[in-house]
Structure 1
Amino acid sequence: MPTLTTSAADAVAQIPDGATILIGGFGKAGQPVELIEALLDHGASDLTVVNNNAGNGEHGLAALIGAGRVRKIVCSFPRQSDSQLFDERFRAGLIELELVPQGNLAERIRAAGAGIGGFFTPTGYGTLLAEGKETRMIDGRGYVLESPIRAEYALIAAHTADPLGNLTYRKTARNFGPIMATAATHTIVQVSNVVPVGQIDPEVVVTPGIFVDVIVDLHQTGLGNGVPTDAYTSGKVSA
């Protein structure tokens, strides 16, 4: 039974220095901003962060990077027009970058959740990204062996949850959240709406509750857009 809380600060308080964290989001879409801001306030440092990119503007993940809390970023798109905070720290040698093609990034995370020990992919073969990795010719085509990406924690955003932890997402905000939830030891999710058990059709559940440890109900804090429910009487509650 996941913990249901209205406090993002309490949800991330357990994250220690040096942790590896999967953070959902495709740019700003689906980024768990409130959880990231709580992590920033919490003060954890020397973090390894896995995300699609290296932050946008000066909020969310970008703010975490700009504050010097991230030692290493694993991502596909480290630079865009508003990635100035990452760019400054990278050029100064203050943050490490592991560049991973987007398809490889998604599959490496998915492989961790599925219990797969590794996989061969043609993406990156013959480039600098393949240096130091096992390669193999399969049916006349070059492939690179890629390893799973696991983490102690995942911070993700979903649209609706029930007290059992079952999750649904809204359109493109879904992106990396479902696979990250399966690849982390502890998954913390912020949601816009919590509904009583039974209100989510089992056929539309994207992330089963078995993968969720903590639910932060943003609606109860005034940040979500859901409908007040009696969900707090149905689950383990921390308010």
Structure 2
Amino acid sequence: MSVISAMPTHVMSCFRLPKRVTNKLSSAVSNFWWSNNGQTRGMHWLAWKKLSRHKNDGGLGFRVIEDFNTALLAKQLWRLIDYLDSLFARVFKGRYDRNSMPLDPIRSYSASYGWQSIVSAQPLVQKGLIRRVGSGTSVLVWDDPWIPASRPRPANGSGINFYPHLRVSELINSSTATWNLPLLNQLFDSTDVTLIMGIPSSHAARPDSLGWFFTKSGRYTVKSGYTVA
């Protein structure tokens, strides 16, 4: 239990651990598991890769340290996205991405290791990031992940795309606040038409927002991020 309880979760929430460190941590947990007395190295009857699988997949659910590190860092990145007015977000934005967003490519040539660690979780956050359609005025049909498929993605066209900068608001009938079905059938394949029709629309000019696809609340959690990773 001492090996497991010594997992540096606070450090992992702030910094990307080097590969050699994550390998040593995984080795220490594995040795502790197979050892007879917790002190000596025992026979490893199963590969670590199998032990770290989810229990539903035949494993024992041991954490993959590198993926858990990424999931923790993604929590910090999500805070920058979800709480734009927080002191944490304002400090980092003022220092590193004053004219961009946290999910944009890193631009600073003198970025701290902490900032580099946080933005290294961008690929994980991008996997579950979805644009929630309100008015649709800020959501690009062919570029933004707004289609609620098995993973969020842009829309798939049915043929030649004549509207490269089309926004979702242009797919909504402004007088009835309903989807323009004839236009949807013209632009998209049948699968996407069905998914789009399932997205609620309303007369209220709700702002578009960002959400995390893999939780009911739409907020990122370390548990859901680790599962995706």
Q: TM-score, normalised by structure 1?
A: 0.24
Higher strand share goes to which structure?
Answer: 1
Larger Rg: 2
Higher helix share goes to which structure?
Answer: 2
Q: TM-score, normalised by structure 2?
A: 0.25
